[in-house]
Amino acid sequence: MLTVTEVSRSFGGVYAVRDVSLSVADGEVCGVIGPNGAGKSTLFNLITGHLPAEHGQISFRGRRVDRLPPHRRARLGMSIVFQAARVFHGMTVKENVMVGAHGRTRAGFVAAALRLPRHRSDEKEIDTEATAALARVGLAKWADRPADRLPIGQQRALQLARALCARPRLLLLDEPASGLRGQERERLATLVEELRADGLTILLIEHDVAFVTRLADRIVVLDLGRVIADGPPAEVRTDPLVLAAYLGPSA
């Protein structure tokens, strides 16, 4: 599904990511962990297209995408949930979720402006899918409320619903558990497990080792911009390099 090959990116001559390679198989949940400054956020932005790579290649479903802008990658089937809550102010919760589907609509600008039948058909379909996505993340009863009035945990759930409304082939999660309370984290973990059971491919970037270990089929560990371990959770947790760099000797 996703292949990253020897990708590098520096800032002011200092490499944040250097010669990083990883792959995510179809239907797999792959976790990326590492200490602060390891390069996780930079790698995420390289994969999503929000930063250009200086070297290396990124391929999605067999197609090279490292030269494509974020919206082109999204149309190919990448959906993103950012760490910081991102909502469209002045819009309801459902309207925010519906935005996620508009990249794949069939009707163009003219059809929308003239309210032609094709546009109305698209809007009805998107409304139905947005309602289903909200129900899946537990926000159905909030559908008609202003999105910017939701608590942070529910804004994060809204972003996930919006990503699901795009019918992704690959779901990219950037520290989705950050700032969530116990019950919110448990609901998120359960939802990710359900999505994995449905066959959705997920790349999960997190600092919470226990959260990633529960959910991931495979874990990639970054330290100082390089991959130091790549394997099943049980294997990674006992890797001497990982213990020294991130988890600590008592992990």
- Asked if the model's pLDDT at residue 82 lies above 90, the reply is no
Domains of the chain (ranges, CATH numbers): 1-77+168-251 (3.40.50.300), 89-167 (no CATH)
- Specify the higher pLDDT residue, 105 or 209: 209
pLDDT tens-digit series, residues 6-42: 999 999 989 999 999 999 999 999 999 988 889 999 9
Q: Of 54, 9, 59, 5, nearest to 170 (Cα)?
A: 59
Average pLDDT over residues 207-220: 91
Q: What pLDDT is recorded for position 118?
A: 60
pTM listed for this prediction: 0.86
Per DSSP, the residues of 38-90 read SSHHHHHHHHHTSS--SEEEEEETTEE-TTS-HHHHHHHTEEEE-SS----TT
- Banded pLDDT at 100 (limits 50, 70, 90): confident
Average pLDDT over residues 223-247: 88
pLDDT tens-digit series, residues 143-171: 999 998 888 888 888 999 999 998 999 99
> Which residues on adjacent β-strands are paired with residue 31?
204, 219
Side-chain-side CA neighbours of 228 within 13 Å: the count stands at: 23
- Asked if the model's pLDDT at residue 54 lies above 70, the reply is yes
Q: What pLDDT is recorded for position 106?
A: 54
